[in-house]
Chain A
Amino acid sequence: MVMILGKPAVALFAQLLLGIVHGSFYAMLSMGLAIIFGLLRIINFAHGAMFMVGAFVTYGLLNIFGIGFWWALLLAPLIVGAAGYGLERLVIQRIYKLDVLYGLLLTFGLAQIAAGVMTNYFGSDGVSYDPPDALSAVLKLGFMYMPAYDAFVVFAAIIVCGGTWFAIEKTSLGALLRAATETPALVQSFGVNVPQVIALTFAGGVALAALAGVLAAPVYSVNPGMGDDIINIVFAVVVIGGMGSIGGAILTGFGLGIIEGFTDVYYPPGSAVVVFVVMAVVLLARPNGLFGKA
Chain B
Amino acid sequence: MKVTRRKLVGSAAVASAAATLPAVPARAAGKSLTIGICSDFSGPYSNTGGNTSVACVQQALEDWGAAAKGYDVTVIKGDHQNKPDIGAGLARQWFDSGVDLLIDVPNSAVALAIAGVAKEKDKLFINSNAATSKLTGSACNAQTIHWTYDTYMLAHSTGGAMVAAGGKSWFFITANYAFGQLLRDQTSTVVKAAGGTVVGDVDYPFPQTTDFSSFLVQAQSSGAQVLGLANAGKDTVNSIKQAHQFGITQSGMKIAGLLIFIPDIHGLGLDIAQGLILTESFYWNMNDRTRAFTKRVLPKTPENYPAMGHAGCYSGVTHFMKAVDVIGVDAASSGAAIAAQMKKMPTSDDAFGECTIREDGRFMCPSYLFRVKKPGESSIPWDYYDLLHTTSAEDTFAPMATEGCPLVKA
Contacts and interface: CB of A to CB of B under 8 A. Distances in A.
Touch test A–B (CB under 8 Å): yes
Interface of A: 8, 10-11, 14-15, 18, 21, 119, 123-126, 128, 138, 140, 143-147, 149-150, 219-221, 223, 225-226, 229, 261, 264, 268, 271-272
A264 B214 contact: yes
B345 interface: no
Given A125-B42, A125-B234, A138-B250, A144 B211 contact: no
Given A18-B213, A18-B214, A147-B245, A124 B250 contact: no
B220 interface: yes
Nearest to B238: A221
Majority DSSP secondary structure for residues of B touching A: loop
Interface string B224-240: 00000000001000100
Contact of A147 (B81, B218, B246, B251): B246
B44 A125 contact: yes
A138 B247 CA distance: 7
B287 interface: no
A123 B221 contact: no
A98 B313 CA distance: 55
Contacts, number: 70
A225 B208 contact: yes
24 contacts: A11-B218, A11-B221, A15-B217, A15-B218, A18-B213, A18-B217, A21-B213, A123-B46, A124-B81, A125-B46, A138-B247, A143-B221, A144-B220, A145-B246, A145-B248, A145-B250, A145-B251, A146-B246, A147-B246, A150-B213, A221-B211, A223-B210, A229-B208, A268-B218
B217 A123 contact: no
B337 to A, nearest CB: 38
B381 interface: no
Contacts of A8: 221
A14 B238 contact: no
A228 to B, nearest CB: 9
Contacts of B210: 126, 220-221, 223, 226
Contacts of B202: 268
B241 interface: yes
A162 to B, nearest CB: 25
Nearest to B82: A124
B220 A145 contact: yes
Contacts of A15: 214, 217-218
